[in-house]
Amino acid sequence: MRMVDLIEKKRDGEALTKEEIEWMVAGYTNDEIPDYQMAALSMAIYFQNMTPKERAELTIAMANSGDTIDLSGIDGIKVDKHSTGGVGDKTTIALAPLVASLGVPVAKMSGRGLGHTGGTIDKLEAIPNFTCEIDTEQFLSLVNENKLAVVGQTGNLTPADKKLYGLRDVTGTVNALGLIASSIMSKKIASGADAIVLDVKTGSGAFMNSLEDAKELAKAMVDIGNDIGRKTVAIISDMNQPLGRTVGNALEIQEAIDVVKGGGPEDVRELCLTLGSQMVYLAEKANSVEEARSMLKEAMASGAAAKTLKTFIAAQNGDDSVVDDPKKLPQATYTHEIKANETGYVKVIAANKVGVAAMQLGAGRATKEDTIDLAVGLVMNKKIGDYVEAGESLVTLHANQEVVDDVVEVVMSAYEFSKETIDKPTLIYKQM
Ligand code: URA
């Protein structure tokens, strides 16, 4: 086979065969196919798209390009959840103990973050002494014992995707729908999920700005999952403003703890109940999604979910007393109130700008080598639809620096106001 023939075939709108896709993924992973040819193919895919069959085959080929995780030693149906990402998204941390408390095994492999805040592992490391550095044997036995463990990504998982994603990032081909769908699903398959719940974000702070694009991406991923025998459902949820009230690692842990106990901001709690009930249903622990939802509410109210969270934290060496006393999480030295300079209703909070502000405070990494400050971040006191009077606090900054003028400027530019009342944005747009 010659790569140039595959590029021309795709350029002319034809579908690639399974053999061609497998050959191309193997050749690219082994450095036999150069970046310039892979870039040309990615651009051809961007314009010509891929058929559902091509996407499923690309997903499997990428999932098999490196190590795969065998979770067969864990009893029960392993359901994984994936979010396409957004500012203030701490759902995994609340969801995992919630569903685990109902007997759903959660074997979570997570990464560190690049961008506005840390990834799930960074956030969990805000809990004093908590570690995700456990070996595979320990990981599997903790899930069997406690129904929940979180481990850092180890080994050589989906190297084809890693290489291709890096290339797409610098060749204008990240937003090729089929490539996004295959990229995300290949990682879920390689990490051993039996079933998958996807949270596809839409809005100004999401990858997919429009609802139409988000629906198309969700459908592409659901089709891939179901085509290759993994039950997959997707929820499309709002990312027109940060999720919940906090952005920043320790602050987000605190909010997740509140949600596990049945409190916290309504949007985070509702999203957790929506995603969690799908997970519980797919894991066959409830006869319907509705039944799963009431079981989750009961786990919040009875303290069962908080108990699972404590057991999980203690089992991974963390200080579980943070669940009762969140003040034991890292605290920033200074707080600064950012006050509204006009009276009205909040119309816009540009999530991406809030993300930039969190980065400026030190909550996220600009490069892989950066260290992050776990204590710093933002608490959003006013969200879209809220009434605010001039002089009232919009945002509280938690900072380890005395001067925050540049951060204040960015946060102020994220907010827009209206004299007319503004409806709160819809949280859940669609389930697929
Ligand atoms: N996230 C991924 O993992 N892959 C993509 O292609 C886009 C977002």
Q: What is the pLDDT of residues 53-110, one digit of tens each?
A: 999 999 999 999 999 999 999 999 999 999 998 899 999 999 999 999 999 999 998 8
Chain centroid, CA 370 distance in Å: 20
Nearest by Cα to 183 from 197, 163, 211: 163
- Reported in sequence order, the residue ranges of 144-287 that DSSP labels E, i.e. its strands, are 148-152, 195-202, 231-238, 246-247
**379 C-alpha to center of ligand 1: Å?**
28
pLDDT of 123 > 80? The answer is yes
pLDDT of 169 > 90? The answer is no
The mean pLDDT value of the chain amounts to 95
**105 C-alpha to center of ligand 1: Å?**
25
pLDDT at 404: 97
3-state helix, strand, coil in the chain (%, to 5): 45, 15, 40
pLDDT at 76: 95
pLDDT tens digit sequence for 217-260: 999 999 999 999 999 999 999 999 999 999 999 999 999 999 99
pLDDT at 346: 98
What pTM did the predictor assign? 0.94
pLDDT tens digit sequence for 21-66: 999 999 999 999 999 999 999 999 999 999 999 999 999 999 999 9
Q: Look up tokens 């579980």; give the residue.
A: 320
Structure confidence at residue 272 as a pLDDT band (50, 70, 90) = very high
pLDDT of 122 > 80? The answer is yes
Q: Whose CA is nearest to atom 2 of ligand 1?
A: 184
When pLDDT is averaged across residues 261-272 and rounded to a whole number, the result is 98
pLDDT of 116 > 90? The answer is no
Structure confidence at residue 181 as a pLDDT band (50, 70, 90) = very high
Whether 245 contacts 383, CB under 8 Å:
yes
3-state secondary structure of 200: strand
For the annotated catalytic residues, the residue numbers are 82, 161, 168, 183, 187
- The closest-lying atom of ligand 1 relative to the alpha carbon of residue 179 is 6
| Pocket of ligand 1 from Cβ distances under 6 Å | 165, 179-180, 183-184
Pocket test for ligand 1, best of 109, 184, 185, 200 (most atoms within 8 A of CB): 184
304-315 and 91-100 are packed helices; what angle lies between their axes, rounded to 10 degrees? 110
**185 C-alpha to center of ligand 1: Å?**
9
Whether 64 contacts 192, CB under 8 Å:
no
**Half-sphere exposure in the Cβ direction for 10 (13 Å, CA):** 25
pLDDT at 360: 96
Q: Whose CA is nearest to atom 3 of ligand 1?
A: 184
Structure confidence at residue 368 as a pLDDT band (50, 70, 90) = confident
pLDDT tens digit sequence for 372-411: 999 999 999 999 999 999 999 999 999 999 999 999 999 9
- The closest-lying atom of ligand 1 relative to the alpha carbon of residue 187 is 3
**327 C-alpha to center of ligand 1: Å?**
35
pLDDT at 175: 86
Structure confidence at residue 208 as a pLDDT band (50, 70, 90) = confident
Beta carbons within 10 angstroms of residue 12's beta carbon: 9
pLDDT of 115 > 80? The answer is no
pLDDT of 111 > 90? The answer is no
Nearest by Cα to 226 from 200, 192, 263, 189: 189
Whether 404 contacts 336, CB under 8 Å:
yes
